[in-house]
Structure formats: C-alpha cells, structure tokens
Amino acid sequence: MPLRMNRDVFITCAVTGAGDTVSKSKHVPVTPQQIAESAIDAAKAGAAVVHCHVRDPETGAGCRRNDLYREVTDRIRASEVDVVLNLTAGMGGDLVFGDVERPLPLKEGGTDMVGATERVSHVAECLPEICTLDCGTMNFSLGDYVMTNTPGMLRAMARLMTDLGVRPEIEAFDTGHLWFAKQLAEEGLIEDPVLIQLCMGIPWGAPDDLNTFMAMVNNLPASWTFSAFSIGRNAMAYPAAAVLAGGNVRVGLEDNLYVGKGQLATNAQLVEKAVQVVEGMGGRIIGPAEVREKLKLTKR
C-alpha cells in the first residue's frame, strides 16, 4: 500500500477512560460535569470528536451507569460548542481470574460481565453519533484481567448499534481484530463507511513500533476511515505517524497524561499539541460538520 499522507484530518479526544489514572493526575475528569466541561474544552481546542467514558463520582472508578452517560450527553449537547459525540460500549466484558492455581471463582470487584443489550443500553438511551466496539478478546495490561468480546457478543452488539443508527467505531487492538471487523462488514452487521481505531501499544495487543503499525494499516480496506493512537511515552508521536499513514488522530487523557516530559496535561492541551503537529506537517484540521459528512453521521 503506497504511503499517502492525509491532508484533511479530524482529531478525536478520549476524555477520561476507565483506567486507574485519577490518582496520577488532577486533570483527569471524574464527575459528569467535569467530563462534559473537559470534552467541550477539547472541542474548542480543535477536536471534532469526543470519546467519553463515565466514572463513579464518589470513587473515580470506571463504571457504566446510564444516568451518568445521560448527564454527560445532555451537558455536551446543551453547550454552544458543536462536537461529534462518541460513547464507549467497551464496559461489561471484564473477566478477572483468581490466582494461577485457582483461577475460579472469578475475582469479585473486577469481573463485570453482562449481555449485549445491557452493554449497549446507554447507547440506546443517549443515541450518540458514534459508539465504540472493541473487536476482540485479549489479555489486557497487568494481572489476570481479560477483555472479553466473543464473536457472538460482537455480532449482537454490532447489530444493535446499526439498528439504532449509531456508527460503530471498531477498536482494533491487534491484527485478528481487523480480520473479524472485515467479517462483520461482510455479514452486513456494520455498514459503510466503516470507521476503525487502531489501538497501539496496549499490553498485550499490537506493539506500537512502526512496522507493526503499518502492517495494521496495510490490512485495512481502502474505503475504510481510520484513526490511530498509542499510549504513554509514544502517544504524542503518533499524531504524526497516523497522518503520514493516511489516517486521523486520537489523543486524550484516556491514553496519556503528559504533554511533555514531566508536564501533566489537560485534554485541551493534548488536542492543541496534536493540532500543531498536523498543521506543521501541512495538514488541515476538519471540524464536526465535515466529519459528519464524511462518515454519514446523523446529528442528534
């Protein structure tokens, strides 16, 4: 696949995530008001899309309460700032095993497994323009946590999202996830234009070296629209890599807490830095209206 730089780039800001980052940075938003305000600030800084999780306001832990999603959604939509809303649907597929000699019973306080309809219930209630679909199962980060998304579960969730008129954003953490995404498209469970996020550098999925990244890119159908990100120390290098490879950009506190060495960032600062990178390369930042046209989204 010849290298074709993307000249018209949209930025997604992943606002908060569900990981244990609240104790590491005071800038990670927790309450619905904080999450919405941080998303709006990111949009003002140049993000066309905001990708939102919610957190328990008391503990800061990631959760999937519909009332919190509703408050975040209502606050963003009530603002005067236009932005494409992207809600996660990645919660509810968490398995945490016991120790290696006694993996069962599953560990309480971490395992959270629910059915397809419940995993998508907040999407049905809030009707964002985009929601994510983590397109596979993998050992995730440290310990005995497994991100669990079976083929049957993914087919059911994809069908529910498509029937709701919400564009799935396929989250691909490894090459097999791309393979299954193509299968979902072939079966008509996700519709054109297909949107995919290449999630690089998350243990233990695809590493974020450029050879692996380009292997992922080269496995994408030419008609698909993709974004890419990495986590941690390479997060702010990936806007350049993604644009050079023909894609779009994701940054945000879900993926990375720093805008420079030792400099804790806000979401808006991460977006501003990404804008500088893209424009410094000769690219143009496109806004939510152009993203809606490109991806055939219905504004709510």
Q: Which helix (H) or strand (E) holds 247?
A: none
| pLDDT tens per residue across span 234-249 | 999 999 999 999 999 9
Q: Which helix (H) or strand (E) holds 113?
A: strand 112-113
Mean pLDDT of the 7-36 span: 96
By CB neighbour count within 10 A (0-12 exposed, 13-18 middle, 19+ buried), where does 242 fall? buried
Omega of the bond leading into 103 within 30 degrees of 0 (cis):
no
Residue 211, pLDDT > 50, answer yes
Report d(CA 206, CA 179) in Å as an integer: 14
Residue 44, pLDDT > 90, answer yes
Average pLDDT, the chain: 95
CATH superfamily of 8-295: Aldolase class I (3.20.20.70)
Give the predicted TM-score (pTM) of the model.
0.95
Structural domain boundaries of the chain? Answer: 8-295
Residue 142, pLDDT > 80, answer no
Mean pLDDT of the 180-191 span: 96
Residue 262, pLDDT > 70, answer yes
Query: Which of 17-31, 65-79, 140-154, 208-222 is least confident?
Result: 140-154
